Structure 1
Amino acid sequence: MKRVLSILLTAVLLITTATFASASTPAVMPAAETQTAGGEPATDSKAQALAKDETVYVTLNADGSMASMYVVNHLETPADGVYTDYGNYTDIQNLTDSQEPTVKGDEISFTRSKSEKGLYYQGTPVSGALPFTYEFKYALDGKAMDPQELIGKSGKVEITIKVHPNPDAKPYFAENYLSQIQLPLNLDVCSKISAPGATTVIVGRTATLAYMAMAGREGEYHLSFEAKDFSMDAISITCSYFDINSFMDVDTQEIKDAVGQMSDATGQLYDGTIQLKKGLTALSGGLDQLAHGAAQAKDGAGALTGGIDEYTNAVNALSDGCGDITAAVNSFAEQGEKMLSYYREIKARVEEALSYVRELIATLVPEEYQQEAMELLQKAEDQLASVDQKINGLSDGIHQLVGGIRSLNDGLTQLKANSGQLQEGAAQMREGLTALSSGLDQISSQSAAIPSEVQKLADGQHLLHEGIGESSSYLDQFDFLEKSEEGSTPVSFVSDKIVPNSVQFVIQTPALTKETPKEEVQEEVEDKNFFDRLWDLFR
């Protein structure tokens, strides 16, 4: 943004100051000559309102210190009458004709006839401060050197230009005036020109380097070039009021507000990115733990698969053994059934025998022994009933045992079938855990690099935030773009009693060239009008 605005302002100043840039050293103005037509003093002594423009011509020494100064005033004379200007001068010269002004203290009065061309006069002010002060330093091949000693030498020439706001200048000039510095370099003398920050315009064999110092701002510029038989024409400087709003509508406060919002947003974005980095770092650690746990789960799945294999083998062996047991129990059950059948036959015969004995006791045993015999017979029957009950219980137990063994065999058969599926599932689980562990290892490895990449993003955002902050500080340099009505009212360089239309400064340093014999100035015989005289100033 700074570069764009600097180029814009420089381009505008190149246009607005083209006349001043082409001026030669403003030494001594030509003396007033024969009065021209239309310049006769008016007989009407009516005081007229003053409308004027001021041009301050300044000659600097080669190092930038003040050498001389004078002011050329242009008064508009739209009607006959007395025009009174103000200013403290040590010397006053009428540049339009030979009429002498009436000077009383700081009042300079001219009684003039109506003229569209107006009146030009110059004076040497008693005091006055430029908007800026200037300092020029020269060096040859890295060694500081007086600029006059550089003339005619060859080597690498370095020039440093320092511009400072003048604390003694009137606030109007300090706050509203820009300065443009133009260095003309002869391309037949200078080569390999390096001038960072300069705007360069080449016309013919002359490269003009232009630098700009904004109102109230310091500037330091460095340029270098290879010189052969060094010489350089005068450095030209102009200072003039500048209002960019006359060229474009610029609301610097709106831009500042937008830049401030951008700065806040980028700051928040940076803080958010740092938080994201912290979260990603924690996530990376969690993924490491998860990957480690998955690796342990994979190892556990291997052990589980081995255990399931052992379990399956045991179930198969148990199922095979249970089959043998089932066969044996079935054989035992068959034998038991046979024994029960034999027992039932014996029981029937015993019951028949006991019934026969009961009849014998009733018929053959004496009556006094029948009761005892019957009691013994009853005991035998009771024992038979008891044996029968136990035999029945044994039969039920055998049936239950056979049923249990068969159920166990069926369960083992089903378990054997299911253990195959369990073994297959365990193998699939192990494969899944292996793939999961591998994937988590890869994710963990890649996620470990993410925080550093996010940090790079954060670093870029931080640089962006700083850049926006820096651009905001650059915008402060353009506070002069916003001017109040009071700040836009011109102020006279020579007096606070008048308000001029405009004030501009034309400044030059001496040319660094070999001295040539001075030609004697001969008085012009021909009569010159004002524009001829004015043109002479810039020849």
Structure 2
Amino acid sequence: MKTKRLSIILIASLLLMPSFAMATSDESESNESSPSQLDGEGSFSEKHEVVYATLNAFGQQDEMYVVNQFDVIEHGEMIDYGPYETVQNLTNLEDIELNDEEVTFRSGEDQFYYQGNLNGKPLPWTFDIRYTLDGEEVNPHDILGEDGHLQIEIETSGDDEVNPVFYENYLMQISLALDSEIYNQIEAEDGTVASAGKNKQVTFTVMPEEDETFVVEANVSNFEFDGVEISALPPNMSFDEFDTDEMQDEMNTLAEAFSDLHDGVGDLRDGVFELNDGVSDLHDGSSDYLSGMNELDEGSADLIEGSQEIQNALNQMRAGFETDGEIDLSDLDELEQALRQIADGLYEAEEGIAEIRENYDGSLESLREAINDIPVGELSEDNFDELYDSDIDPEVIDELVQTYEAAQNARENFDESSELFNYVVPVLEELEQTVNEIAVNLEQTADEFAEGLDELDFIEELEQLETGLEQLANQYGEFHAGLVEYTGGVGELSSNYSGIHEGIGELSDGTAVLGDGVDELHDGTGELAQETSDLPAQMQSEIDELMDDFDFSDFEPVSFMSERNENVETVQFVIQTESITIDDDEDDDEVEEEEKGIWERFLDLFR
């Protein structure tokens, strides 16, 4: 069966010899050179080698021969080289000699062919073919005629013992012809499946310098297999120059988008830095405000205590006049002094309240300026979505979003609480004015009391004083109750604002971290913009490099048989694995083919 396969391939190669197979006997006679012309040295312009090899079903090499073709320039004796076991003249009946890898022949035609048979010379590639039926690895000879789910795995690699020029520069095409009556539901992930008559043709391609593994799967019934056909030759790919103008425009647009992104992140960074400065000022102002509130709260106790003493003194003075008309005049001087001391205490309280009001007002203004320094929010969800769709670290974006929202919330909360903050100053001003009025009244009362001691109607004046003190004590009691209520509100405000201040502190820390993150982000987008600024040129360079990988125009063919062979134009490989078929007449056919000579087989083509 192997001899039959080689004979068929040989006959096919003979069909490619038009100068011999298609010439008439008259033409052959006219082209033949005389013996004297063949005695000289001949020459040829080109040599072509076609390497035919057979493999067994598992991919191990079996037989090999080479058909050598010469384009003859001058008729005469020529020499070729190769480690052949035997050689055959495929052109005429002239003898051809083989002596220690040197082949000598005489050519009287313009095209000369001879075949050299080899034994043991390896191919540039190795092949490993495995068969699996219903999930179990099998010998294909053992499953002839069986049914099931078949998987054929073909693994290729380079042979290190062979000149690497073929592995590095040759493209292989691997084909399997599958009879549609036997195979169905064919799958080949890395190959193409096409119809070829009643067969399905599965084709795989192996690029130069590549090792590959291909898998074909199919449901099979009454298994037979025609084998695997493999051809290898240098790629002859002609590519028109790519029109990359539109693509370059798109790349320019993309590069500009990256540049715009970098600019946008720069604006964002500036905004975050401005926000960070504003939040820092806010935190400082909040600290001042909190200190003022605490000072006000701490002074409230002294204010209440002093007010309580004033009220107690007024009550004592009023009680001192509640007699049966008998008045101890020796205490009147002490009463005058007491009134003046109370007035002095109120003046001091007035100054304390004024100082607190000024500190509070200044702290509130600092806080208001810091809040106003926070940029008004203009970033939308789409802006953040664009950032999330970019290559920016999502954690940095999360920090940015949280800080941005916290800053806007702080601004909104301050705006909502502004009425409460603004309420404190008028109350302090009113309190300051009230204390001043009481102090002035007490001081005037003391002056009038001192003057009244020298008048004759002193008793009547004392009665009026008693009435005035009673009214003053009652009014001051109402004032003291309001003062207690006010200081309680100040204490509550001071306590609640501590939480607000802590939040502002966290916001300040967050904006600082955000500033670092956005600065890092800006560096990253800058690097991205810089690296993509010449994106069209990079793309063109990549295309050129890719095209270079498939450009074999500078490849210089070398002989597969011997480095001494010259003028080698082409070397190609035709490789076939054995077929596994049911053929009852196979042995008879092989015997008949073996009995026929090359000439008889050739003549059979025309019978």
What TM-score comes out, normalization by structure 1 length? 0.55
Mapping of residues 519-534 of structure 1, within 5 Å: 519-520=588-589, 521=592
* Alignment match of 1:198 (pick from 181, 184, 191): 191
Equivalent residue, structure 2, for 1:48:
42
Counterpart residue number, 2:550: 481
Cα 1:199–1:476 shift into 2, 3 Å: farther
The structure with the largest helix share of the pair is 2
Distance 2:542 2:157 in 1: 19
Cα drift, residue 152 of structure 1: 0.9
Q: Equivalent of 1:493, from 560, 567, 573? A: 560
Query: Which digits, 9 at most, give the CA deviation of each residue in 1:103-161, with x for residues without a partner?
Result: 3332222222234xx22221113553322111110000100001112221111101111
User: Aligned partners of 1:512 and 1:73: how far apart in 2?
Assistant: 30
What SS class does the counterpart of residue 57 from structure 1 fall into? Answer: strand
Pairing 1:77-476 to 2, within 5 Å after superposition: 77-115=72-110, 118-126=111-119, 128-244=121-237, 246-248=238-240, 273=390, 277=394, 280-294=397-411, 296-298=413-415, 300-304=417-421
Summarize the Cα distance change of 1:213–1:479 in structure 2 as closer, same or farther, 3 Å threshold. Answer: farther
Q: Is the 8 A contact 1:130 1:169 kept in 2?
A: yes
Is the deviation greater in 104-113 or in 201-210?
Answer: 104-113
Q: Which residue of 1 aligns with 2:578?
A: 510
The CA deviation string for residues 448-491 of structure 1, in whole angstroms up to 9 with x for no partner, is xxx9xx9xxx9xx9xxx9xx99xx99998976534484xx2211
Contact residue 235 and residue 552 of structure 2 kept, 8 A: no
2:92 maps to 1:64: no
Deviations 1:89-109 (A, max 9, x none): 111112233222133332222
CA distance, structure 2, for counterparts of residue 501 and residue 250 of structure 1: 30
Instruction: Could you tell me which runs of 5 or more consecutive residues in structure 1 were left unpaired when the two chains were aligned.
Output: 1-23, 319-439
With 68-77 and 274-283 compared, the bigger mean Cα shift is at: 274-283
2:43·2:72 contact (CA, 8 Å) conserved in 1?
no
How far, CA to CA, are the matches of 1:205 and 1:76 in structure 2? 39
> Hey, what's the Cα distance between the residues in 2 that align with 1:177 and 1:526?
31
Cα distance per residue 1:501-523 (max 9 Å; x no partner): 21111000111212321344378
Contact map agreement 2:65 2:116 (CA 8 A) in 1 = yes
CA apart distance, 1:249 = 5.5
Paired residues of 2:189 and 2:215 also in contact (CA < 8 A)? yes
User: What residue ranges of structure 2 are gaps of 5+ in the alignment?
Assistant: 15-19, 263-386, 436-506
TM-score (norm 2): 0.49
Shift of 1:183: 0.6
Hey, what does 1:12 align to over in structure 2? none
Structure 1 position 242, deviation (Å): 1.6
Give the distance between the partners of 2:598 and 2:413, measured in 1 at CA.
113
User: How many Å apart are 1:529 and its aligned residue?
Assistant: 11
Measure the CA separation in 2 of the matches of 1:525 and 1:304. 117
SS at match of 2:168: helix
| CA drift at 1:186 | 1.1
Contact 1:154 1:229 in 2 (8 A): yes
Partner of 1:26: 6
Letter of the 1:493 partner, please give it: F
Letter in 2 for 1:63: F
Structure having the higher Rg: 1
Q: Which residue, 70, 73, 81 being the options, matches 2:68?
A: 73
Q: Distance in 1 between matches of 2:142 and 2:601?
A: 42
1:206, distance to aligned residue in structure 2 (A)? 0.6
